[in-house]
Copies of this chain bind each other. A is one copy, B any other.
Amino acid sequence: MKISSRFSVATHILALLHLEKKTLCTSEWIANSVNTNPVVIRRILGQLKKAEIVQVRSGVGGSFLMKELAEITLLDVYHAVEVVDEGELFQVHEGTSDECLVGANICSVLSPIVCRAQSTMEQVLAEITMEEVVTDLENKLGGCTE
């Protein structure tokens, strides 16, 4: 089980939009950097637009950040692309026997535990902004924007 790469692709896109302001960032151009199909990029851009993180210009093309990097947390991105539903990182089996102490109550005992595990993980993402991601990228050597 893995969380969809939509999340990492979305951060990739946002970093590009910031670093390539001089370029017309069309879905095809972004797709080339990400190495996927332009439609995949357009779908993710659609979700980022819905979350009011980017603006997409139809007709002419190109996408643009609507917020400062420091105002976009990785949790915002994660929520925007809907890779994991609220309180649903863990699937807890249902339909258990209610004639049994364990079957009747296991769900209500486990649910708060796994929700806490999920929230704790998401809190890590909430504490990192796109600004840090881009700074990390810039600290790497080489690349096309040297």
Interface residues of A (CB under 8 A from B): 1-5, 7-9, 11-12, 15-16, 19, 32-36, 74, 83-84, 88-93, 95-97, 99-110, 113-114, 116-118, 120-125, 128, 133, 136-138, 140, 142-146
Contacts and interface: CB of A to CB of B under 8 A. Distances in A.
- Residue of A16, A142, A143 with most chain B CB atoms under a 10 A cut-off: A143
Contact of A124 (B91, B120, B142): B120
A83 B2 CA distance: 9
Contact of A19 (B33, B102, B108): B102
B92 A143 contact: no
A93 B5 contact: yes
A15 B136 contact: no
B137 A91 contact: no
Given A12-B96, A89-B121, A101-B145, 5 more contacts: A2-B89, A8-B90, A35-B93, A105-B140, A113-B124
B32 A91 contact: no
